[in-house]
């Protein structure tokens, strides 16, 4: 019997040895794939075991995102709380166990969970792991200014819209507000999430999720603010100068039909003879329509590309939360090869036809004019600090792209000053400060009375410290000068240094 | 050093490991557990020293490695059960006492000559079937996780199937020893009682849905049949029969068919019908929930493991991550906390235990003892393979305990009896030399 027993023993040992092999497979080769599966709650818990870094506003004191401890089965888990209950909700985003992460919380997750590549962070994390202590993420200090952001949110209340304000030289984003908005703390629970989804929208019920960051994702026809691009193309090519004269009969003729000026009771039906500065100042569609026909749609789209259209602007939020601006066909970005025949150049010239832009993109257009033609890289994050103090990363001003020449930028800057001094943007005037701006009142459909109201701006005109864009969507008789310019004025007042504010 | 002193020395080493294990759990989980954990280590050491003294008195020539290895496995199990839920560890501790009583009774009662069992072979055969039928009796049995395996007697719950594996081995060893020559000739008539008892056992198993035990009994049966008759063709025929029968059962019993589906495709990207909720869900969120969460637990262990007490077994909402983690899935818990190195060492102890058991079967000189030792050992190995192999997706998962390690009273008692059996046989083998 012993031969059989030996054989049975070998079979038994082989069966057990196969268990070692299979365990090795699951714990080494397969473990990465299993860890990445989204129903792997062990990984969710592992994330919650890390004390995420704090997020501060630009003052370095106001805490925008913090953690609360909760004990679950003897383990300390850290849940995110937002002490300001909805400060720049869509921009800062959220970090939750059931709804994932969004906004800065997602894009800067590596810093916030101390999994970045900074050598100090790596050593600290390793030390914490070895000692078995809690891993604490790095803190973020944002450029968002408490006063300006709060103001932007309250001014937008009850509307669909967005405000972007940034430093045109450094790219520091001072305010990025989106309305409707929500209290970020609600997102931790499914009940709260359901509440967010039910938030009533004042504009379009089908596309008004408060989770959408309208500052970077809302695509609206830029209307007359786009004349800035058209004017830049004309000046860059020396086709016209600011003093070139035009005759405005109240309409321009395209494809045998008349394209009329905006129907505003307070302005004359036709201006007659005007120069380019006046045409821009009073936002005369007929003149820009003719400039557009002269330049051609392709030339205008090329100029727009120089200003960043057709690219996703850089920012410390996930790229999926940022939309590129440009011509759209349905929901798709549309870059026609035969633009000169495919796109209506006259209407494109004043920001209609197929053109759609985000508030961030239009703010960058204003920043380009303010910054001698150069567009800065917009930055939400000012610096990253170790939990115990000490800066490990500081953002430095960078140029995203050169949009136009300093000469063109200066010429258009002057036109924008005229807009605020005696044109369509007088509502943006600030005593003692030279403000530059451009209104936009975008038609959403033929013969409707609701418009998207725009205002792009920078100030002080001679040495700008703030530039930006305001969009208020679907306003009944909502003219950019009447609806958006006053919001822009208050944002600028909040951000301009007190000395230039108090000048007589 | 004498065999018994060697055994004592190993037991002291195991005791040291036990203290270290409980101390690690205490340090890692100070927030939720008390100093009481170290009391468990002391209690455990006292129990095994008692077992050692009984062995010293009753079977002085027995193998010195088996008891320390069983102690090691029990200690790891108790430590992990304690880590997962201190209340269960208390009950497990009580069951170890009960197991020890049975262990002592078996050693004392059978120390002169355990071969008297041979004369009661039909009693053991009928006893096996009776044990398996108990849970089917109305008022006595309860259904857990789709299988009807438990017997409730007042506050006690018991899984008679665990004991049946021992009575079955005793019956088979005795029957095969007596009839091995005729069986080897292949005369069909002699297979009668064997097939009868066997058919009955299989019938009961299908009725109770306990496929894991069915596989265990069938595998043990084939191994012993092969050892007794040296006819490999019986094994081949047996495996073919089992595959055919298995196929039929999979086709006929939805509970078992589901297990095969879970084994082959635990993850789906589309929703499938979920019987427990009556809605459509991803399979990993319904039928294969346990299997998948257990694999996540194992994968999280990596090379070195999270450390005793440092693993994750609770979801953020406070729910247990793996249902039945301390019985069927204790291996997944250990794999997460001890890592590949830890559980490989654990499996190595299982292999050493099997090697010692088989060595005893080789050394002892009478047929009944050989078959008894080989049967108990092979059953031990196969049971380990069925549960761990099921967890690791080598075979479809069937719920069965991991010998000595899992939580469960019947399992503890049965394994102590297996240990007693092997010690008795080895005492006899060594005394003859």
Q: From the candidates A27, A49, A75, A77, which should be mutated to test the interface with B, based on the most B CB atoms within 10 A?
A: A27
Q: From the candidates B30, B219, B300, B366, which should be mutated to test the interface with A, based on the most A CB atoms within 10 A?
A: B300
Across the interface, whether the CB atoms of B335 and A28 are under 8 A apart is answered no
Cβ contact A381:A141 at 8 Å: yes
> How would residue A207 be classed by pLDDT, with cut points 50, 70 and 90?
low
* A-chain residue closest to B176, CA distance: A1
pLDDT for position A128? 85
Judging contacts by C-beta atoms under 8 Å, the chain A residues touching residue B361 are 5, 9
CA distance B179 to A36: 57
* A-chain residue closest to B181, CA distance: A1
Cβ contact B171:B126 at 8 Å: no
Q: What is the pLDDT of residues A324-335, one digit of tens each?
A: 999 998 889 999
Lowest mean pLDDT among A152-156, A206-210, B118-122, B258-262: A206-210
Chain B residues 221-250 with a CB less than 8 Å from chain A: 223, 226-228, 230
DSSP one-letter code for A180? S
Cβ contact B198:B221 at 8 Å: yes
CA distance A246 to A252: 11
* A-chain residue closest to B298, CA distance: A27
Kindly tell me the sign of the dihedral angle through the C-alpha atoms of B331, B332, B333, B334.
Answer: positive
Across the interface, whether the CB atoms of B314 and A72 are under 8 A apart is answered yes
Q: What is the pLDDT of residues B7-16, one digit of tens each?
A: 999 999 999 9
Judging contacts by C-beta atoms under 8 Å, the chain A residues touching residue B402 are none
Residue B368, φ and ψ in degrees, nearest 5:
-60, -45
* A-chain residue closest to B356, CA distance: A9
Residue B138, φ and ψ in degrees, nearest 5:
-65, 140
Judging contacts by C-beta atoms under 8 Å, the chain B residues touching residue A20 are 344, 347-348
* A-chain residue closest to B303, CA distance: A27
pLDDT for position B321? 86
Beta-strand relationship, A245-248 and A173-179? unpaired
Does position B163 have pLDDT exceeding 70, yes or no?
Answer: yes
* B-chain residue closest to A131, CA distance: B28
Q: Is B403 on the interface with A (CB under 8 A)?
A: no
* B-chain residue closest to A28, CA distance: B302
Q: Which of A22, A27, A73 lies closest to B301 in CB terms?
A: A27
HEC assignment per residue over A39-97: CCHHHHHHHHHCECCCEECCCCCCEEEEEEEEEECCEEEEEEECCCCCCCHHHHCEECC
> How would residue A504 be classed by pLDDT, with cut points 50, 70 and 90?
very low
Lowest mean pLDDT among A64-68, A89-93, B197-201: B197-201
Q: Tell me the CB-side half-sphere exposure of residue A276, using CA atoms within 13 A.
A: 23
pLDDT for position A139? 96
Q: Is B268 on the interface with A (CB under 8 A)?
A: no
* B-chain residue closest to A45, CA distance: B316
Judging contacts by C-beta atoms under 8 Å, the chain A residues touching residue B385 are 15-16, 18-19
- How far does A106 lie from chain B, in Å, by closest CA? 20
Higher pLDDT, residue B407 or A447? B407
Q: Which of A2, A22, A31 lies closest to B302 in CB terms?
A: A31
Q: Is B37 on the interface with A (CB under 8 A)?
A: no
CA distance B151 to B131: 10
CB atoms within 10 A of CB B92: 24
Q: What is the pLDDT of residues B406-429, one digit of tens each?
A: 998 899 999 999 999 999 999 999
- How far does B363 lie from chain A, in Å, by closest CA? 9
- How far does B140 lie from chain A, in Å, by closest CA? 35
For residue A378, whether the previous peptide bond is cis, meaning omega lies within 30 degrees of 0, is no
pLDDT for position B151? 67
Across the interface, whether the CB atoms of A18 and B226 are under 8 A apart is answered no
Across the interface, whether the CB atoms of A73 and B32 are under 8 A apart is answered yes
pTM of the model: 0.74
Judging contacts by C-beta atoms under 8 Å, the chain B residues touching residue A41 are 293, 296, 312, 315-316, 321
Q: What angle do CA A171, A176, A177 make, to 5 degrees?
A: 170
Residue A171, φ and ψ in degrees, nearest 5:
85, 0
Judging contacts by C-beta atoms under 8 Å, the chain A residues touching residue B315 are 41, 44-45
* A-chain residue closest to B307, CA distance: A132
* B-chain residue closest to A96, CA distance: B316
Query: Which CATH superfamily groups domain A147-182+202-381+397-495?
Result: DD-peptidase/beta-lactamase superfamily (3.40.710.10)
pLDDT for position B107? 96
Cβ contact B115:B369 at 8 Å: yes
Q: What angle do CA B370, B376, B378 make, to 5 degrees?
A: 95
Q: Which of B344, B370, B384 lies closest to A23 in CB terms?
A: B344
pLDDT for position A206? 59
If you average pLDDT over residues A455-482, what whole number do you get?
A: 91
Give one DSSP letter per residue of A245-299, joined into a string.
Answer: EEEE-SEEEETTEEEEPP--TTS-S--EEEEHHHHHHTT-HHHHHHHHHHH-HHH
Q: Is B278 on the interface with A (CB under 8 A)?
A: no
pLDDT for position B144? 61
Across the interface, whether the CB atoms of B381 and A45 are under 8 A apart is answered no
Q: Is B335 on the interface with A (CB under 8 A)?
A: yes
Q: Is B382 on the interface with A (CB under 8 A)?
A: yes
Cβ contact A417:A436 at 8 Å: yes
Q: What is the pLDDT of residues A259-312, one digit of tens each?
A: 777 766 566 778 888 999 999 999 998 899 999 999 999 999 999 999 999 999
Per the listing, tokens 């170790």 go with: A386
Tokens of B347: 């499996």
Q: Which of B226, B267, B301 lies closest to A8 in CB terms?
A: B226
Q: Where are the domains of chain A?
A: 147-182+202-381+397-495
- How far does A283 lie from chain B, in Å, by closest CA? 55
Across the interface, whether the CB atoms of A22 and B394 are under 8 A apart is answered yes
Q: What is the pLDDT of residues A83-124, one digit of tens each?
A: 998 899 999 999 987 778 899 999 999 999 998 888 888 888
Cβ contact B406:B324 at 8 Å: no
Across the interface, whether the CB atoms of A11 and B351 are under 8 A apart is answered no
Q: What is the pLDDT of residues B287-336, one digit of tens each?
A: 899 999 999 999 999 999 988 988 889 887 778 888 888 888 999 999 99
If you average pLDDT over residues A32-55, what whole number do you get?
A: 88
- How far does A318 lie from chain B, in Å, by closest CA? 26
Judging contacts by C-beta atoms under 8 Å, the chain A residues touching residue B28 are 132
- ipTM comes to 0.94
Tokens of A407: 């000469």
Contacts A–B by Cβ distance under 8 A:
161
Across the interface, whether the CB atoms of A1 and B339 are under 8 A apart is answered no
> How would residue B146 be classed by pLDDT, with cut points 50, 70 and 90?
low
If you average pLDDT over residues B1-20, what whole number do you get?
A: 91
* B-chain residue closest to A4, CA distance: B227
Across the interface, whether the CB atoms of B292 and A22 are under 8 A apart is answered no
Contacts of B336 (CB under 8 A, 6+ apart): A42, B297, B298, B300, B301, B305, B306, B311, B312, B313
Cβ contact A142:A64 at 8 Å: yes
Q: Is B184 on the interface with A (CB under 8 A)?
A: no
> How would residue A125 be classed by pLDDT, with cut points 50, 70 and 90?
confident
Contacts of B170 (CB under 8 A, 6+ apart): B117, B121, B124, B372
Max CA distance (Å), chain B:
67
Nearest one of B422, B411, B377, B421 to B162, comparing CA atoms: B411
HEC assignment per residue over chain B: CCHHHHHHHHHHHHHHHHHHHHHHHHHHCCCCCCCHHHHHHHHHHHHHHHHHHHHHHHCCCCCCCHHHHHHHHHHHHHHHHHHHCHHHHHHHHHHHHHHHHHHHHHHHHHCCCHHHHHHHHHHHHHHHHHHHHHHHCCCCEEEECCEEEEEEECCEEECHHHHHHHHHHHHHHHHHHHHHHHHHHCCHHHHHHHHHHHHHHHHHHHHHCCHHHHHHHHHHHHHHHHHHHCCHHHHHHHHHHHHHHHHHHHHHCHHHHHHHHHHHCCCCCCCEEECCCCEEECHHHCCCHHHHHHHHHHHHHCCCCCCCCCCCCECCCCCECCCCCCCCCHHHHHHHHHHHHHHHHHHHHHHHHHHHHHHHHHHCCCHHHHHHHHHHHHHHHHHHHHHHHHHCCCCCCCCCCCCCCCCCHHHHHHHHHHHHHHHHHHHHHHHHC
Q: Tell me the CB-side half-sphere exposure of residue A171, using CA atoms within 13 A.
A: 21
Judging contacts by C-beta atoms under 8 Å, the chain B residues touching residue A25 are 392
Judging contacts by C-beta atoms under 8 Å, the chain B residues touching residue A8 are 223, 226-227, 358, 374, 378
Nearest one of B408, B411, B414, B358 to B381, comparing CA atoms: B358
Does position A503 have pLDDT exceeding 50, yes or no?
Answer: no
């Amino acid at each position: 019997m012993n031969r059989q027993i030996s054989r049975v023993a070998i079979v038994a040992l082989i069966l057990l040895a196969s268990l070692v092999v299979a365990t090795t497979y699951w714990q080494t080769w397969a473990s990465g794939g299993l860890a990445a599966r989204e129903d792997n709650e062990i990984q969710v818990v592992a994330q919650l075991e890390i004390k995420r870094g704090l997020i501060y506003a630009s003052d370095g004191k106001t805490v925008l995102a913090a953690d609360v401890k909760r004990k679950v089965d003897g383990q300390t888990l850290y849940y995110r709380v937002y002490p300001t209950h909805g400060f720049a909700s869509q921009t800062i985003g959220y970090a939750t166990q059931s709804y994932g992460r969004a906004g800065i919380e997602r894009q800067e997750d590596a810093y916030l969970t101390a999994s970045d590549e900074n050598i100090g962070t790596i050593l600290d994390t390793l030390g914490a792991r070895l000692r078995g202590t809690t891993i604490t993420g790095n803190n973020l200090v944002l450029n968002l200014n408490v006063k300006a952001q709060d103001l932007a949110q309250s001014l937008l209340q009850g509307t669909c819209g967005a405000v972007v304000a940034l430093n045109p030289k450094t790219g520091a984003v001072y305010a990025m507000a989106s309305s409707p908005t929500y209290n970020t703390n609600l997102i931790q629970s499914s009940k709260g999430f359901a509440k967010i989804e039910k938030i009533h929208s004042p504009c379009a019920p089908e596309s008004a999720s408060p989770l959408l960051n309208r500052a970077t994702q809302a695509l609206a026809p830029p209307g007359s603010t786009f004349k800035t691009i058209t004017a830049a193309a004309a000046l860059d090519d020396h086709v016209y100068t600011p003093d070139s004269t035009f005759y405005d009969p109240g309409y321009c003729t395209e494809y045998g039909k008349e394209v009329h000026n905006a129907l505003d009771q307070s302005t004359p039906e036709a201006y007659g003879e005007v120069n380019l500065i006046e045409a821009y100042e009073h936002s005369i569609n007929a003149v820009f329509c003719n400039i557009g026909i002269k330049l051609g749609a392709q030339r205008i789209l090329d100029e727009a590309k120089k200003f960043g259209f057709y690219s996703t602007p850089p920012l410390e939020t996930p790229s999926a939360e940022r939309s590129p601006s440009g011509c759209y066909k349905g929901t798709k970005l549309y870059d026609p090869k035969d633009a000169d025949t495919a796109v209506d150049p006259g209407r494109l010239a004043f920001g209609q036809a197929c053109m759609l832009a985000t508030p961030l993109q239009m703010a960058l257009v204003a920043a380009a004019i303010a910054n001698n033609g150069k567009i800065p890289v917009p930055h939400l994050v000012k610096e990253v600090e170790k939990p115990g103090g000490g800066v490990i990363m500081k953002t430095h001003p960078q140029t995203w792209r050169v949009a136009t020449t300093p000469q063109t930028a200066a010429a258009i800057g002057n036109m924008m000053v005229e807009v605020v001094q005696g044109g369509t943007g007088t509502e943006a005037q600030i005593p003692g400060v030279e403000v530059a701006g451009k209104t936009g009142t975008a038609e959403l459909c033929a013969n409707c009375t609701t418009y998207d109201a725009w205002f792009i701006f920078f100030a002080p005109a001679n040495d700008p410290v703030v530039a930006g864009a305001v969009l208020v969507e679907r306003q009944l008789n909502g003219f950019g000068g009447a609806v958006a310019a006053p919001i822009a004025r208050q944002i600028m007042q909040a951000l301009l240094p007190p000395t230039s504010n108090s000048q007589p | 050093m004498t065999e018994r002193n060697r055994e004592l020395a190993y037991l002291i080493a195991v005791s040291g490991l036990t203290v270290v294990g409980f101390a690690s759990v205490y340090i890692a989980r100070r927030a939720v557990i008390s100093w009481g954990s170290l009391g468990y280590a002391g209690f455990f050491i006292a129990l095994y020293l008692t077992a050692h003294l009984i062995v010293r008195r009753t079977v002085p020539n027995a193998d010195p490695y088996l008891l320390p290895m069983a102690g090691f496995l029990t200690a790891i199990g108790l430590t992990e059960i304690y880590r997962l839920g201190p209340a269960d560890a208390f009950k497990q501790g009580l069951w170890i006492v009960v197991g020890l009583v049975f262990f002592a009774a078996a050693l004392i009662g059978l120390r002169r000559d355990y071969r008297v069992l041979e004369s009661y072979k039909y009693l053991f055969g009928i006893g096996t079937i009776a044990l398996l039928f108990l849970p089917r009796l109305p008022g006595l049995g309860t259904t857990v996780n789709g299988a009807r395996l438990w017997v409730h007697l007042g506050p006690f719950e018991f899984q008679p199937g665990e004991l049946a594996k021992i009575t079955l081995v005793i019956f088979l060893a005795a029957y095969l020893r007596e009839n091995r020559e005729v069986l080897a000739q292949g005369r069909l008539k002699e297979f009668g009682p064997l097939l009868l008892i066997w058919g009955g056992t299989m019938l009961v198993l299908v009725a109770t849905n306990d496929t894991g035990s069915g596989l265990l009994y069938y595998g043990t049966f084939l191994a012993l049949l092969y050892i007794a008759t040296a006819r490999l063709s019986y094994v081949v025929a047996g495996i073919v029969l089992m595959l055919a029968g298995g196929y039929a059962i999979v086709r006929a019993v939805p509970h078992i068919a589901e297990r095969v589906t879970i084994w082959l495709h635990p993850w789906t990207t589309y929703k499938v019908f979920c019987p427990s909720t009556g809605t459509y869900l991803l399979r990993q969120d319904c039928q294969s929930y346990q299997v998948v969460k257990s694999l996540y637990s194992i994968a999280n262990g990596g090379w070195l493991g999270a450390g005793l007490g440092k693993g994750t077994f609770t979801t953020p909402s406070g729910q247990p991550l793996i249902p039945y983690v301390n019985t069927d899935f204790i291996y997944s818990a250990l794999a997460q906390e001890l890592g590949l190195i830890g559980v490989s060492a654990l499996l190595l102890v299982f292999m050493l235990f099997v090697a010692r058991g088989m060595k005893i079967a080789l050394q002892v000189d009478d047929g009944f003892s050989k078959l008894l030792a080989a049967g108990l050992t092979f059953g031990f190995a196969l049971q380990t393979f069925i549960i761990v192999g099921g967890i690791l997706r080598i075979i479809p998962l069937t719920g069965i305990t991991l010998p000595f390690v899992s939580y469960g009273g019947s399992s503890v008692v049965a394994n102590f009896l297996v240990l007693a059996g092997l010690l008795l046989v080895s005492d006899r083998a060594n005394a003859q030399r």
